[in-house]
Amino acid sequence: MRPLPTIGGGPPSGAALYFWKQLSPSTPHRLAAGTAFGMTDTGTVRPSNEDNFLIDTALGLVAVADGMGGHESGEIASADALTSLAQFLHASADGDGDGVPANFRPSPFDPDSTDPDGMASEAALAAMVTLHDAVEFANQRMYQTNLANRRGDGGGMGTTLTGLWQPAPGSPLLVFHVGDSRLYRYRAGRLTQLTRDQTMYQEAIEAGATEHLPPRNLLLQALGPSCDTHPDLRIEAVQAGDLYLLCSDGLYGATSDERIAAVLAGASVERLGECCKELIATALQDGSRDNVTAVLLQCD
């Protein structure tokens, strides 16, 4: 994803010293929920990769981020969002708050809003509050960086953030989403999109517009440009054999759901790496001009 009109801006101070690094290696990772594998590719057009992904086995966390703000700003934003999120969740798990500023004050959040049927356990709802606060912490940290670089008016760096967190073995998966990266579930031969793109294009489609649609990459929300963010959160019950795909818009923007499902149909624990590679190759063959990231989680 490249700079957007409402986000734009150049790299923050010191960005020239930053070198992109893939946060998690492209190897199988064993989590309590199953096995995860991720892969990212700069693509054939972009000069740098502003995508990144994180698989944290200790936390049971799988997430992707697609940065914006131009070259190094986007690279910094995606990596910082992922590491800030994990930092907060680790601090919460340890119970000592180490690494989280004492003056951090999250906005009020009602976890019941994510459980309209009242089926979630108290533990799941408590974990949802922690997850909400972790996303807000990542956003506030990036927003403060933009302010320090005099780009706090929406002109600084930003990023999408989408992922799954299983707070304890056997618990449901908690979904979090800001922006237009996506989470899909492949179950019993059917591909289902679990996140809603937070874009002006999606909003126009839902309003019934068919002509003069806005560009697909105009975000309504992202981490970093604003002091306020409102992540979409939901609880996802796990079934054995479920396959989850987290991806940046470089994958789905050029490739149809049918093509994605055809690749996922051949997935297995042993073939997750091959499937990630095939998904990326398919997107590039289909004409993707963006960075492409695919992360798979095969549930036991």
CB atoms within 10 A of CB 28: 14
Residue 8: predicted pLDDT = 29
Instruction: Name the CA radius of gyration of the chain, rounded.
Output: 18
Q: Select from 224, 199, 201, 228 the least CA-distant residue to 212.
A: 201
How far apart are alpha carbons 137 and 100 in whole angstroms? 8
Whole-angstrom CA distances from 266 to 34, 243, 270 are 17, 11, 11
DSSP 149: T
Residue-wise pLDDT for 76-122, tens only, equals: 999 999 999 999 999 999 877 677 887 888 888 999 888 888 888 99
Q: Is 15 helix (H, G, I), strand (E, B) or coil?
A: helix
pLDDT tens digits for range 239-269: 999 999 999 999 999 999 999 999 999 999 9
Please check whether residue 235 is in contact with residue 132, taking contact to mean a CB–CB distance below 8 angstroms. Answer: no
The C-alpha atoms of residue 272 and residue 275 are separated, in whole angstroms, by: 5
User: In whole angstroms, what is the distance from residue 294 CA to residue 256 CA?
Assistant: 15
* Residue 9 confidence (pLDDT): 31
Q: If pLDDT is split at 50, 70 and 90, which confidence band does 4 have?
A: very low
Q: Work out the mean pLDDT of the chain and round it to a whole number.
A: 90
* 0.85 exceeded by pTM: yes
**What amino acid is encoded at 84 in this protein?**
S
What per-residue confidence (pLDDT) applies to 3? 36
Nearest to 2 by CA among 77, 83, 85, 54: 77
